Amino acid sequence: MGIVLEKLGYLIDCEKNGGANCNGRNQLSFNDALQVILDDMPVTPFIGDDESENEVHENELSVDDTSDAWKRNIRAAYMGLKHADRTMPDSLDLINALRKSILVVRFWIAHQLGVHENVLKEGRKYDPLSKKFIGID
């Protein structure tokens, strides 16, 4: 999934931003690619991104349910798998990073297809992938 996100961010940046986030060698860092994807969506799959601090929700809000948390998690997972000198991520962390990344790609595609942001905001409350996987030790 990391390769998909890296390429999607690069393509969005080149096509829509004229490569504004690319370096002198026309490369885009993984973190920048993730941010480009998020910036291309009016609403993200993460409830924590658009909440006021005083708002209470039916679903328990986790600090992990934000774009920043997703970027940290998927970067750690991707780099841990890609580089031999990095720590291999825990399998539960990997599956949760994948789950969130699938949501991001699905939301991005939905935006491209014209799905209204209110529909997406409402739908993420009920989407099974919006719920964190937990260990059953």
Sorted by where each begins, the domain ranges of the chain are 2-44+63-130
Given a cut of 50, whether residue 130 has pLDDT beyond it is yes
pTM (2 d.p.): 0.86
Given a cut of 70, whether residue 132 has pLDDT beyond it is yes
Residues 6+ apart with CB under 8 A from 115: none
How big is the CA angle at 49 (ends 44 and 50), to the nearest 5 degrees?
Answer: 95
CA distance 117 to 107: 9
61 close to 132: Cβ distance less than 8 angstroms: no
pLDDT-derived band at 54, boundaries 50, 70, 90: very low
